[in-house]
Amino acid sequence: MKRISSLFLLVCIVCSPSWSLAQTGPAPLATSDLLIQLIRFDTSNPPGNELPLARWIQAYLKKFRIDSEIVESSPGRANLVARLKGDGSEGNLLLLGHLDVVPADVKEWSHAPFAAVVEGDTLYGRGTLDMKGLVALEIATFIRLKQEKIPLKGDVILLLTADEEAGGKAGAQFMVEKHWDKVKASYVFNEGSIGVKQEKRNLYPIQVAEKGVAWMKVTATGASGHGSMPKPDNAVLRLLNALHRLTSHPPPIQRSAVVEEFLRRLSEAYSFPESFFLRHFFDWPIVKLAPWIAGEKIQRKKAFNAMIRNTTTPTMLQAGYKVNVIPSEATAFIDNRILPGETPEKFYRKLTDRLDDPDVKLELVLQNPPNESDFHTPYFKRIEEAILKNDPQAIVAPYLSPGATDSRFFRAKGALCYGIIPFLVTEEEIDTVHGKNERLSLPELKRGEQILYDLIIALEGLPANSP
């Protein structure tokens, strides 16, 4: 009897959660604590300096017997790669994130942007939404897959890059062009959008496409002189007139399959006549009447306006060196974003024709073509199912993002790239991205982690392809 009791006790100990945890390694940080650690590394770009954070993540992964490699594109510009091996029967999944963030003006913030202050259930800090929040989810999920010994068919790769906020040249572009063997994947999960809280049904836009970039420099020339004696060929005035010609008339609305499907699904949350308007937005006569009937309202909906037309936004002005001297040259930079079907060169020619001024020169200084992934795929369906499992009444829709992400480098290699930060936030919170008081509700962090885990488990049924 004593022997049976001892055996029973042994079974209880082996099967207890604490024993199981001891067998699978140390307990990981709570995801909120992990995110706090990530935020406290100031990786503002410029200069980036992602190396200290990459080293911290590498040491953290090592605690769970996960090896990783840090690849520097230049001193201090670090990219971290880790891999969980599958059996090779299906395509690899790459969890993509960037370690750099945009700078933050401490004077604008209610809390120091890199202090990672928790107030109530809200975490304040630069990068909570863009995108250290998702990086924390990816790291936590990666460790969970390892600890639970999930049998993987395809490899799961974790790639955390430098330099996304400045174009990705030192980060994802470098890794794809120079180290494709380390990051080759059939499927990429990345940022690109975020869930939006709505009164009726929450919206989860899945980024499947992004607009192209056509940054241009505008240079106006004129006669210099004394500021007390105005001249009709003042370069500053000539530049202002040129910018007015480039921006005074919004480009026409253009149909795209992604936005059309986005609006069709969004219409499910509305009743007539809004539902009809959304479903038939690109059809005649609505598409012709919309600019006249609701033109100003459309432009106030900044994200929607950017999804339906090419955009031109002046962002930088440079002229003069003394208040009483008329300069002979004035320059501006404009951020042009173009829809699929457009090219940077073609759009450059359109703007040059609109200027029609020999004393104003337009230069194309940076360009990336628009890019997209097919959304009629099992991969997209798996993401949708993972979200609906956690929010059954939600609307999940393909989305065209106005901004660029690192996904474009992988789409060029043939990978299916979809992006969403799986949190639910308000429009007010979305406005904190690249702004002041960027923040995230901690319960959303936990829910997002479950969505990402459910997605990876669901992806085990996908077939392999070879980009």
How high is the pLDDT of residue 294? 67
Q: Give the span between the Cα atoms of 40 and 30, in whole angstroms.
A: 16
How high is the pLDDT of residue 154? 93
Q: Which CATH class is domain 26-193+402-461?
A: alpha beta
Cβ atoms 334, 215 nearer than 8 A: yes
Residues 6+ apart with CB under 8 A from 272: none
Residues 6+ apart with CB under 8 A from 380: 206, 208, 398, 418
Radius of gyration of the chain (CA): 25
* Within this chain, domains 26-193+402-461 and 212-368 share the same CATH topology: no
3-state secondary structure of 95: strand
Distances (CA, A) of 188 to 9, 342, 371, 405, 410: 47, 25, 14, 12, 8
How high is the pLDDT of residue 60? 98
Q: Give the span between the Cα atoms of 66 and 366, in whole angstroms.
A: 38
Q: Give the span between the Cα atoms of 266 and 260, in whole angstroms.
A: 10
Q: Which among 403, 409, 435 has a CA at the least distance from the CA of 127?
A: 435
How high is the pLDDT of residue 463? 62
CA of residue 457 relative to chain centroid, distance:
23
212-368 fold: Alpha-Beta Plaits (3.30.70)
Give the DSSP H/E element, type plus range, for residue 417: strand 416-425
Beta pairing partners, 204: 396
- Helix 51-62 and helix 31-39, axial crossing angle in degrees, nearest 10: 150
CA of residue 7 relative to chain centroid, distance:
54
The structural domains of the chain, with segments of one domain joined by +, span: 26-193+402-461, 212-368
Q: Which among 445, 444, 442 has a CA at the least distance from the CA of 122?
A: 442
3-state secondary structure of 97: strand
Q: Which among 264, 266, 293 has a CA at the least distance from the CA of 280?
A: 264
For 205, half-sphere exposure in the C-beta direction (CA atoms, 13 angstrom radius) is: 26
**pTM for this prediction:** 0.89
Alpha-carbon torsion (400, 404, 407, 411), positive or negative: positive
> CA 30, 35, 37 angle in degrees (round to 5)?
100
Distances (CA, A) of 244 to 251, 312, 348: 14, 11, 16
Q: Give the span between the Cα atoms of 94 and 462, in whole angstroms.
A: 14
How high is the pLDDT of residue 34? 98
3-state secondary structure of 214: strand
φ, ψ dihedrals at 215, nearest 5°: -75, 135
| Tens digit of each residue's pLDDT, the chain (467 residues) | 444 344 333 333 334 333 333 345 789 999 999 999 999 999 999 999 999 999 999 999 999 999 999 999 999 999 999 999 999 988 999 999 999 999 999 999 999 999 999 999 999 999 999 999 999 999 999 999 999 999 999 999 999 999 999 999 999 999 999 999 999 999 999 999 999 998 889 999 999 999 999 999 999 999 999 999 998 899 999 999 999 999 988 889 999 999 999 999 999 998 998 899 999 999 999 888 777 766 677 777 788 899 999 999 999 999 999 999 999 999 999 999 999 999 999 999 999 999 988 999 999 999 999 999 999 999 999 999 999 999 999 999 999 999 899 999 999 999 999 999 999 999 999 999 999 999 999 999 999 999 999 999 888 766 655 45
